Amino acid sequence: MCQTLAELRQAATALAAHFDPALVAPGQLAQVLRDAGAIEKMMAAVASLTAARMAASGSATTAARQAVRELAHASGTSLFEANKALEAGKQLAGQPDVAAAALAGELSRPQLALVAGAVAVNAGAAPQLLGLARTGSLQELADQSARARAAGQDLEARRKAVHLARSLRSYTDASGTWHLHAQGPLQQGAQVMAALTPFADKAFQAARKEGRRERPEAYAFDGLVGLATSGGSGPSKSQVLWRVDLATMVRGYPVDDEVCEIAGFGPVSRQAVIDLLECGDPFLKAVVTKGKDVVSVAHLGRRPNAHQQSALDWMFPICAAEGCGTRAAYLETDHRVDWAKSRVTVLGLLDRLCKFHHRLKTYDGWALVHGRGKRAFVPPGDPRHPRRAAKESVP
């Protein structure tokens, strides 16, 4: 096996030394990306499994530390990331389906850590998470992994443990860059982000007026500074959206696939929501559902009304385009039927798209395939495009 790896490395070295992307035909570029990505994922899985073996080969503490350091050095990652990869490698010993997918090049290192960590708590979640890893975005996988973990945990016990471990630290690195790291209960993180969001939106609007375009993370940082220096004044606070199934609300806790979570953050215990209600800051908005159904409401304005907006926030915590993980704060409402033609806003005919996908739809004719919720986003020439599908259905 070691000899095979050595030969594979030599072959890869020879290929990389002479690789010139300009020599790849345009029609083959996507395949080159897929092949290179699959090989990278396979080797990441091999490295994680090897590090796990190394950690088990000596005294628990010393061997584990050495394995983390060796993996971090070999892969060029931080000790934190290497430790996550090591834990995933350990968990794979009891997860044959996940291990097979990882060694087949279907899971990146971040995906592997998410799936293996969730399956370690909830073994039955493996098929769904592996399927989502193939088609969804990393953010979608993180959200679903959090739900899978929650289904196998005592959420109230977790809330108490996270509360005890809460912390905030800041430091300045060698380059003179300031860093801030905070961790704590999910519902309090939702409070902080709800208070920060209006300041980030204000920074975005100011940048747009000046003709500047920056990353959303940059505006979020500006929002943090604005919030910290506002002295309690400034933009009105955003709302925290609680998503809960009717049966869960009555019973007091979720079972099976029922939902009790803070949109955009993840599953919480009922006590966490009670804590938010009691603090009264920020305003908590609840969407009560039965399964995935939300009652469709129509009105004559162009923009969704307050009830429809709440329902959209519930249905689309991230962009509706399959594979996109852009969160609700950066989404735009899209009418499947142009409002200028219909003059009516119907919840069932609304989607939420990020700015990139919304521009593709508006200016280049791309569209979501027929259906509801998260689905494929295709160009005009795709046979699944709504216009082509409609023409083909006409006898």
Could you read off the pLDDT of 299-328 as tens digits, one per residue? 556 677 777 777 788 788 889 999 898 887
pLDDT per residue as tens digits for the range 172-192: 988 989 999 999 998 889 889
- Using CA atoms of 91, 97, 100, 102 in order, give the dihedral in degrees to the nearest 10: -60
- Confidence band (pLDDT; 50, 70, 90) for 296? very low
Q: Report the half-sphere exposure of 216 (CA within 13 A, side-chain side).
A: 12
- Confidence band (pLDDT; 50, 70, 90) for 252? low
User: Which residues, at least 6 apart from 202, have a Cβ–Cβ distance to it below 8 Å?
Assistant: 223, 226, 234, 235
Per-residue pLDDT at 297: 46
Q: Is the dihedral of CA 288, 294, 295, 298 positive or negative?
A: positive
Q: How far apart are CA 32 and CA 22, in angstroms?
A: 12
Supply the Cα-derived Rg of the chain in whole angstroms: 24
- Better-scored residue on pLDDT, 230 or 125: 125
Max CA separation in the chain (angstroms):
73
Mean pLDDT score, 231-246? 70
Per-residue pLDDT at 50: 94
Q: Which of 155-159, 223-227, 359-363 has the lowest mean pLDDT?
A: 155-159
pLDDT per residue as tens digits for the range 354-373: 999 999 998 999 999 988 88
Per-residue pLDDT at 107: 96
pLDDT per residue as tens digits for the range 272-294: 877 776 765 556 666 666 666 55
Per-residue pLDDT at 309: 79
Per-residue pLDDT at 154: 85
Domain ranges of the chain: 35-153, 185-293, 318-393
Do the bridges between strand 260-262 and strand 240-245 make them parallel or antiparallel, or are there none, so unpaired?
antiparallel
Tell me: pLDDT of 238 over 70: no
Q: How far apart are CA 309 and CA 314, in angstroms?
A: 9
Per-residue pLDDT at 109: 94
End-to-end CA distance of the chain: 60
- Confidence band (pLDDT; 50, 70, 90) for 11? very high
Percentage above 90 pLDDT, the chain? 48
Three state DSSP letters for 236-298: CCCCEEEEEEHHHHHHCCCCCCCCEEECCCEECCHHHHHHHHHHCCCCEEEEEEECCECCCCE
pLDDT per residue as tens digits for the range 52-97: 999 998 776 788 899 999 999 999 988 989 999 999 999 999 999 9
Q: Which of 289, 294, 288 is nearest to 346 (CA)?
A: 294
Tell me: pLDDT of 392 over 70: no
User: Which residues, at least 6 apart from 143, have a Cβ–Cβ distance to it below 8 Å?
Assistant: 266, 317, 318
Mean pLDDT score, 294-299? 47
Percentage above 70 pLDDT, the chain? 87
